[in-house]
Amino acid sequence: MKPLAATQTWKLETSNFITEIVEKNIAGGQSHIVTRFPPEPNGYLHIGHGKALVLNFGIAARYNGKCNLRFDDTNPAREEMEYVNGIIGDVKWLVGHEAFEVLWSSDYFQFIYDRAVDLVKRGLAYIDDDSSEEISKKRGAPTEKGTPSPYRNRSVEENLRLFQVMTDGHFDEGACCLRAKIDMDSPNLNLRDPILYRIKKVPHHNTGTKWCVYPMYDWAHGWEDSLEGVTHSLCSLEYDNHRPLYDWFLDQFPEYHHPRQYEFNRLNITNTVLSKRKLLQLVKENKVSGWDDPRMPTLCGLRRRGYTPAALRRFIEAAGCSRTDGIIELGMLEWFIRDELNKTAPRVMAVFNPIRVTVTNYPEGKSELVAVENNPEQPETGSREVPFGRHLLIDGEDFAEVPAKGWFRLAPGAEVRLKGAYFVTCQEFVKDEQGNVVELKCTYDSQSRGGDSPDGRKVKGTIQWVSADHGVELETRLYGPLLSVENPASIPEDQNWLEAINPESLVTATAWCEPGLAKAEVGVGYQFMRKGYFTLDSDSTPGKPVFNRIVTLKDPWKK
Ligand code: ATP
Ligand code: MG
């Protein structure tokens, strides 16, 4: 197995109960830390999986260990190569880990099968002809004992023979299964003779038609960890009561390495659905445009929306890792990307609901380039040249026919600074038949070039503008939370959760912006002054750019 790639440049910074355990183990002499991320390729990864990724890869990097990406491909009926490729790309994107090893549970099928035969030979597993409904009914409840199957006491010879017949494909799906013989009275239902193998006559992407029996997750998982030398097998809290089973299986084989399982709380986020099954439903029922719809909490959706891996990792670390379930505010996720973009995003001028401005004392046909600062937070990023002329567009929000007290933007008779350009004074306004202001006639002060006062007179308002002759038209997509229900877990099971979709989760608007944005690059976040952070969407076509709003400038929820 390859060592940890040198390209991973980050590690988990914060400490939690797992890092404390790892440090104790290292102090106790454990020399090498091995973790793994074990997705089932039955959907794309979401930000909850992102948490498991950050913990597993982040801990391995912090303690100079290694982390495998292992596909849990034990159920050929649900798994697809499209998801495999998507997951590999998403993992590389989030953890920046170019050369991690990609491993497959299916590569261990023979070994895992042989261990099941060992259990049968020792009288610790049997072929059960009960149907799956009977098996779950007889399993009982935590407060009542289970009912043993009538097939539980078959002889070793008969079980060996039947397991072989089952493996050779002579039984139909559902006809029988192999169960471990543990304890039908255990208070932990997972120990009441769990199923090890079931028949599935489905070809597998890796093993083809070689197998028609496939191992169950609980039986396979410990072996996969063991064979890879995993030291700390990290999973979410719902596996807590599976740990006794994980340990029971490996305890039967003391000659093999026995990893330890640790459980952490799942990531839950308000107004956000984090379940592959439900995300698949959104895709299948066309409630979103695909797995990478920018409203989706998938890693590919967040990437298309304009989130960066560093912002997601910082959010995940800040959300914390403990053994207590909770729900994190969506606003906190937004805070982390806003904080990053505030430092890095170039500023651009983009106007919505535009009003035309005619600069009446500026010559027709003339234009010039003025320098506009790129990022006031980072003066070293310099400035860019933006064309200015007689015909401009300003944002509809920057003019008031009857200004309120304290209004510093444009109004009849008022003077403002056009950012980076000149002072202008509104002399006149023109309305259309509906009474909307559609044009302002302004004069400019040619001595105020660069937006500097020529004679010390003060102008309080600075507004953005775009040259009407040079500006670029954009489609912008403004997003809200996908769900209007704050806690998705509060939706009753018998209610159609799709009704909780926020009808305003996607609003489109046309904007005009400075021409430089025609050369915007995918993956770069720009600040549209006062409107938020935006990034170029993959739906863009030449001459028709589409921009996603990544996040607003301030959290409108926090008043
Ligand atoms: P889902 O519950 O969304 O269907 P899953 O658990 O079935 O996801 P897997 O592919 O089996 O999906 O998960 C891979 C790993 O990601 C597991 O170790 C699982 O514990 C972890 N994981 C899944 N969802 C979350 C979450 N919301 N927060 C933290 N870890 C998660
Ligand atoms: Mg799960």
In a domain, 555, yes or no: no
Sheet holding 525-528, edge to edge: 347-348, 525-528, 532-536, 546-551, 472-479, 506-513, 350-352
Q: Residue 466's Cα: distance from chain center in Å? A: 35
Which ligand number lies closest to the CA of residue 278?
A: 1
- Distance, CA 111 to ligand 1 centroid (Å)? 26
235 CB near ligand 1 (under 6 Å): yes
47-98, pLDDT tens digit by residue? 999 999 999 999 999 999 999 999 999 999 887 889 999 999 999 999 986 6
Low-confidence ranges of the chain (pLDDT < 50): 1-6, 557, 559
pLDDT at position 9 is 77
- What pTM did the predictor assign? 0.94
Residues β-bridged to residue 269: 328
- Among 36, 44, 47, 49, the mutation site with the greatest number of ligand 1 atoms within 8 A of its Cβ is 49
What local confidence, expressed as pLDDT, does residue 3 receive? 41
**CATH, residue 391:** 2.40.240.10
- 225 and 140 in one domain? no
Distances 336 to 10, 55, 534, 554 between C-alpha atoms, Å: 17, 18, 15, 12
Residue 458: helix, strand or coil by DSSP?
Answer: coil
Residue 236 Cα to ligand 1 midpoint, Å, equals 7
For residue 53, give the ligand 1 atom closest to its CA: 16
Distance CA 60, CA 350 (A): 44
Per residue in 411-432, pLDDT (tens digit) is 999 999 999 999 999 999 999 9
The pLDDT of residue 559? 46
Q: Is the CB of 322 under 6 A from ligand 1?
A: no
* Cβ–Cβ under 8 Å, residues 271 and 501: no
DSSP 211-280: -SEEE-HHHHHHHHHHHTT-SEEEEEGGGGGGHHHHHHHHHT-TTS---EEEEEPPP-BTT----HHHHH
In Å, how far from its chain's centre is CA 298? 4
Structural domain includes residue 302: no
502 within some domain:
no
b/e burial code for range 108-122 (CB count within 10 A of at least 16 → b): bbeebbebbbebbee
What gap in Å lies between CA 341 and CA 531, rounded to an integer?
A: 13
Position 291 in a domain: no
* pLDDT score of 393: 98
Say which of 92, 138, 200, 266 is annotated catalytic: 266
Query: Residue 71 is encoded by which pair of tokens?
Result: 């596909």
Could you identify the atom of ligand 1 that is nearest to the CA of residue 43? Answer: 10
Same domain for 196 and 126: yes
The verdict on the CB of residue 265 being under 6 Å from ligand 1 is: no
Give the per-residue pLDDT at 378: 84
**Domain shared by 375 and 237, yes or no:** no
- Please report the pLDDT score of residue 5 as a whole number: 44
> Which atom, in ligand 1's list, is nearest to the CA of 239?
20
What's the pLDDT at 80? Answer: 85
How high is the pLDDT of residue 47? 98
225 and 194 in a single domain? The answer is no
* Residues 224 and 98 grouped into a single domain: yes
Q: For residue 99, what pLDDT is reported?
A: 65
494 lies in some domain: no
Specify the pLDDT at position 6: 45
Q: What SS3 class is residue 105?
A: helix
Q: Which ligand is nearest to the CA of 42?
A: 1
Q: Is the dihedral of CA 306, 309, 314, 318 positive or negative?
A: positive
The pLDDT value given to residue 2: 42
Query: Domain containing 127: what range?
Result: 109-216
Check residue 555 and give its pLDDT. Answer: 56
39 lines ligand 1 (CB under 6 A): yes
Residue among 47, 51, 59 at smallest CA distance from 11? 59
Residues 369 and 434 in one domain: yes
Domain identity same for 466 and 356: yes
Residue 38 Cβ contacting ligand 1 at under 6 Å: yes
Q: What are phi and psi of 37, to 5 degrees?
A: -115, 120
Domain tally, the chain = 3
Active site residue 266: yes
Name the residue at shortest CA distance from atom 3 of ligand 1. 275
CA-nearest residue for atom 16, ligand 1, is 49
Asked if 119 and 208 sit in the same domain, the reply is yes
3-class DSSP state of 261? strand
Torsion of CA 432, 434, 438, 439, to 10 degrees: 40
Residue 558's pLDDT is 54
Whether residue 537 contacts residue 294, with contact meaning beta carbons closer than 8 Å, is answered with yes
Judged by DSSP in three states, 270 sits in: coil
